[in-house]
Amino acid sequence: MSEQSAATRLSAAEAGVAHLFHTHRLAMVRLASLLVDDLETAEDVTQDAFAALHRRWPALRGEGAAVSYLRTCVVNGSRSVLRRRHTVRRAEVADESGATAEAADTSTLLAEEHRAVLAAMRELPERQREVIVLRYWSQLSEAEIADALGISVGAVKSSASRGRDAIARRLEESR
């Protein structure tokens, strides 16, 4: 491979990732934010996903595949963050060191009904929460969700149904 060919591929990757960054970054940050419930962490997860996208750019076929890969990276990165948090919280409980507090301005940023929905979503199992976020916030099809999460379309349907029912029950209980 010539130096010019490598430079052309590098600039094509940079241009492609830059385009996707400008068009999809905010949506990916929002997706991660809904999954990890923390804006700073969501931005880190999204940045890591774009770095992974840049590394994989030559193997991806078209913008659709790149966006799908990016979304999968964000979901997987969010899962990793949640696993680490869970491990830390278990260690905190074992050390009897108390729970971490929510940011002081969090409750003022959301309307009451939004807080109730987010609280109900936090109680969902991980897969149901991911499916609900991808379906109703990201507006992905069942097939796209199945692809992003590596599960069957049937599992997407049942997770969405159970998640919606659990959220509805929780909201009804809080009234």
Task: Give me 9's structure tokens.
Answer: 């591929």
DSSP 58: G
User: Residue 172 is part of a domain; what is its CATH number?
Assistant: 1.10.10.10
Domain that residue 131 falls in: 104-175
Co-location of 17 and 49 in the same domain: yes
Q: How many domains does the chain have?
A: 2
For 104-127, write each residue's pLDDT tens digit: 555 554 566 777 888 888 899 999
Q: What is the largest CA-CA distance in the chain?
A: 68
- Burial (CB count <10 Å: 0-12, 13-18, 19+), residue 3: exposed
pLDDT tens digits, one per residue of 13-54: 788 899 999 999 999 999 999 999 889 999 999 999 999 999
Instruction: Give the pLDDT band of residue 95 (cuts 50, 70, 90).
Output: low
The reply to whether 15 and 92 lie within a common domain is yes
CATH code for the domain of 15: 1.10.1740
Assess whether 4 and 89 both reside in one domain: yes
In terms of domains, do 10 and 91 share one? yes
